[in-house]
Structure 1
Amino acid sequence: MNKLKLVVVGNGMAGVRCVEEILKLDPERFQITIFGSEPRPNYNRILLSKVLQGNSAMDEIIINDWSWYDENRIRLYTGETVVKIDSGKKIVETKSGIKAEYDMLILATGSSPFIPPIDGVRKPGVIAFRNMDDCRIMMEHAEKYRKAAVIGGGLLGLEAARGLLNLGMETDVIHNAPYLMNRQLDYMSAELLRKELEAQGMRFWLNANTESITGRSRAKGIRFATGVSIEADLVIVAVGIIPNVELAKSSGIRTNRAIVVDDYMRTSVADIYAVGECAEHRGIAYGLVAPLYEQGKVLAQLLCRPNEECPPYVGSVPSAQLKVSGVEMFSVGEIQEQAAGTALQMYDGIKGAYKKVTMADGKICGAILYGDTSEANALLQLVKQNAPVSALASSSAQQGAGNQDEQIAAMPDKETVCACNAVSKGTIMRCVVEDGLETAQQVKEKTKASGSCGGCKSMVEAIVSYAKRKGSLDSAAAAPICACTDCSHEQAKQAIMHGAYGSVEQVVSALGWKRKSGCDVCVPALRYYFALRTGDASKAQEGEPIGKAYVGMAVTVADESDPSSLPNYDARSLGDELGRLGRKLAFPTRLKAVVASGLHQAAGVLVHDIGITDSPAGWQIYVAGHAENPVRQGQLLGIAESYGEALELSAACLQLYREKAEFMEPLWKWVEREGLVELRETLFDTDYRLALHASFRGWEQEALA
Structure 2
Amino acid sequence: MSRKQKLVVIGNGMAGCRAVEELLALDPDRYEIVIFGGEPEVNYNRIMLSPVLAGETSFDEIVINGADWYAENGIELRSGEEVVGIDPVSRMVATDKGDRCIYDRLLIATGSLPFILPVPGATLDGVIAFRDIADVRRMIATAEGGGRAVVIGGGLLGLEAANGLRTLGMDVTVIHLMETLMERQLDEAAGFLLRRELEGRGIEVLTGASTEEIVGRSAVEGVKLKDGRTLPADLVVMAAGIRPNITLARDAGLACNRGIVVDDFMRTSDPAILAVGECVEHRGQVYGLVAPIWEMCRVVGTTLAEEDGEGYQGSVISTKLKVTGVEVFSAGDFASGDDREDIVFRDAARGVYKRLVISRDRIIGAVLYGDTQDGSWYFNLLRQKENIAESRETLVFGPALAGASQDPNAAVAALPDTSEICGCNGVCKGAIVNAIREKDLTTLDSVRAHTKASASCGSCTELVEKLMVLTLGDTYNPAAVEPICACTDLGHDEVRRLIKAKELKTIPAVMQELEWKTSCGCAKCRPALNYYLVCDWPDEYADDYQSRFVNERVHANIQKDGTYSVVPRMWGGMTSAKELRAIADVVDKFAIPAVKVTGGQRIDMLGIAKEDLPAVWADLGKAGFVSGQAYAKGLRTVKTCVGTDWCRFGTQDSTGLGIRIERFMWGSWTPAKVKVAVSGCPRNCAEATCKDVGIVCVDSGYEIHFAGAAGLDIKGTEKLGTVMAEDAALEHVVALVQMYREQAHYLERIYKWAKRIGYDEIRRQIMDDAERRKALFDRFVFSQKFAQVDPWSERVSGKDKHEFRPMAEIGFSRAAE
- For normalisation by structure 1, the TM-score amounts to 0.55
Match of 1:120 in 2: 121
Match of 1:244 in 2: 245
Unmatched 5+ stretches in structure 2: 403-817
Matches within 5 A, 1:470-485: none
Per-residue deviation, 1:392: 4.7
Match of 1:73 in 2: 74
Unmatched 5+ stretches in structure 1: 404-705
Q: Does structure 1 conserve the Cα–Cα contact (< 8 Å) formed by 2:395 and 2:401?
A: no
C-alpha spacing 1:144/1:289, structure 2 compared with 1 (3 Å): same
User: Separation in 1 of the partners of 2:113 and 2:260?
Assistant: 14
User: Separation in 2 of the partners of 1:399 and 1:64?
Assistant: 38
Q: Does structure 2 conserve the Cα–Cα contact (< 8 Å) formed by 1:176 and 1:207?
A: yes
Query: Which residue type is aligned with residue 103 of structure 2?
Result: Y
User: Separation in 1 of the partners of 2:59 and 2:41?
Assistant: 11
Match of 1:325 in 2: 324
Matches within 5 A, 1:418-437: none
Match of 2:385 in 1: 386
Query: Which residue type is aligned with residue 323 of structure 1?
Result: K
Per-residue deviation, 1:100: 1.6
Secondary structure of 1:140's match?
helix
Match of 2:11 in 1: 10
User: Separation in 1 of the partners of 2:339 and 2:278?
Assistant: 27
User: Separation in 1 of the partners of 2:14 and 2:263?
Assistant: 21
Per-residue deviation, 1:350: 2.1
- Work out the number of aligned pairs and report it: 401
Q: Does structure 2 conserve the Cα–Cα contact (< 8 Å) formed by 1:244 and 1:278?
A: yes
Match of 1:289 in 2: 290
C-alpha spacing 1:216/1:336, structure 2 compared with 1 (3 Å): same
Secondary structure of 1:28's match?
coil
Per-residue deviation, 1:401: 6.6
Match of 2:308 in 1: 309
Matches within 5 A, 1:34-53: 34-53=35-54
Matches within 5 A, 1:337-352: 337-338=336-337, 341-352=340-351
User: Separation in 1 of the partners of 2:400 and 2:238?
Assistant: 38
Secondary structure of 2:343's match?
strand
Secondary structure of 1:220's match?
strand
User: Separation in 2 of the partners of 1:339 and 1:175?
Assistant: 29
Match of 2:181 in 1: 180
C-alpha spacing 1:391/1:29, structure 2 compared with 1 (3 Å): farther
Secondary structure of 1:359's match?
strand
Deviation string 1:4-51 (CA, Å, 9 cap, x unpaired) is 111111001111100000111111111111000000010000110010
Query: Which residue type is aligned with residue 379 of structure 2?
Result: L
Q: Does structure 2 conserve the Cα–Cα contact (< 8 Å) formed by 1:334 and 1:340?
A: no
User: Separation in 1 of the partners of 2:22 and 2:286?
Assistant: 21
Secondary structure of 2:44's match?
coil
Per-residue deviation, 1:386: 2.4
Per-residue deviation, 1:360: 3.5
Per-residue deviation, 1:290: 0.7
User: Separation in 2 of the partners of 1:21 and 1:49?
Assistant: 27
User: Separation in 2 of the partners of 1:244 and 1:386?
Assistant: 34
Match of 2:335 in 1: 336
User: Separation in 1 of the partners of 2:53 and 2:182?
Assistant: 20
Match of 1:638 in 2: none
Match of 1:218 in 2: 219
Identity of aligned residues (%): 48
Secondary structure of 2:64's match?
coil
Q: Are 1:355 and 2:354 an aligned pair?
A: yes
Per-residue deviation, 1:394: 9.3
Secondary structure of 1:63's match?
strand
Matches within 5 A, 1:262-661: 262-304=263-305, 306=306, 308-338=307-337, 341-390=340-389, 392-393=391-392, 398-399=397-398
- For normalisation by structure 2, the TM-score amounts to 0.48
User: Separation in 2 of the partners of 1:133 and 1:338?
Assistant: 43
Q: Does structure 2 conserve the Cα–Cα contact (< 8 Å) formed by 1:375 and 1:401?
A: no
Q: Does structure 1 conserve the Cα–Cα contact (< 8 Å) formed by 2:356 and 2:396?
A: no
Per-residue deviation, 1:230: 1.4
C-alpha spacing 1:178/1:391, structure 2 compared with 1 (3 Å): farther
Q: Does structure 2 conserve the Cα–Cα contact (< 8 Å) formed by 1:375 and 1:396?
A: no
User: Separation in 1 of the partners of 2:5 and 2:91?
Assistant: 12
Match of 2:140 in 1: 139
User: Separation in 2 of the partners of 1:77 and 1:392?
Assistant: 56
Per-residue deviation, 1:143: 1.4
Deviation string 1:569-600 (CA, Å, 9 cap, x unpaired) is xxxxxxxxxxxxxxxxxxxxxxxxxxxxxxxx
Q: Which has the larger radius of gyration?
A: 2
User: Separation in 2 of the partners of 1:254 and 1:79?
Assistant: 28
User: Separation in 2 of the partners of 1:178 and 1:378?
Assistant: 30
Deviation string 1:397-448 (CA, Å, 9 cap, x unpaired) is 6436789xxxxxxxxxxxxxxxxxxxxxxxxxxxxxxxxxxxxxxxxxxxxx
Q: Does structure 2 conserve the Cα–Cα contact (< 8 Å) formed by 1:343 and 1:389?
A: no
Q: Does structure 2 conserve the Cα–Cα contact (< 8 Å) formed by 1:378 and 1:397?
A: no
C-alpha spacing 1:250/1:385, structure 2 compared with 1 (3 Å): same
Per-residue deviation, 1:144: 2.2
Per-residue deviation, 1:252: 0.9
User: Separation in 1 of the partners of 2:193 and 2:3?
Assistant: 60
User: Separation in 2 of the partners of 1:73 and 1:34?
Assistant: 11
Secondary structure of 2:78's match?
strand
Deviates more, 1:353-362 or 1:139-148: 353-362
User: Separation in 2 of the partners of 1:394 and 1:87?
Assistant: 59
User: Separation in 2 of the partners of 1:138 and 1:339?
Assistant: 46
Per-residue deviation, 1:388: 3.1
Query: Which residue type is aligned with residue 240 of structure 1?
Result: G
Q: Does structure 2 conserve the Cα–Cα contact (< 8 Å) formed by 1:12 and 1:108?
A: yes
Q: Does structure 1 conserve the Cα–Cα contact (< 8 Å) formed by 2:345 and 2:396?
A: no
Match of 1:24 in 2: 25
C-alpha spacing 1:397/1:97, structure 2 compared with 1 (3 Å): farther
User: Separation in 1 of the partners of 2:386 and 2:122?
Assistant: 46
Secondary structure of 1:144's match?
coil
Q: Does structure 1 conserve the Cα–Cα contact (< 8 Å) formed by 2:151 and 2:175?
A: yes
Deviation string 1:188-223 (CA, Å, 9 cap, x unpaired) is 111111111111111011101111111222111111
Secondary structure of 2:43's match?
coil
Match of 1:93 in 2: 94
Query: Which residue type is aligned with residue 285 of structure 2?
Result: I
User: Separation in 2 of the partners of 1:115 and 1:25?
Assistant: 40
Secondary structure of 2:7's match?
strand
Match of 1:204 in 2: 205
Q: Does structure 1 conserve the Cα–Cα contact (< 8 Å) formed by 2:212 and 2:224?
A: yes
Query: Which residue type is aligned with residue 26 of structure 1?
Result: D
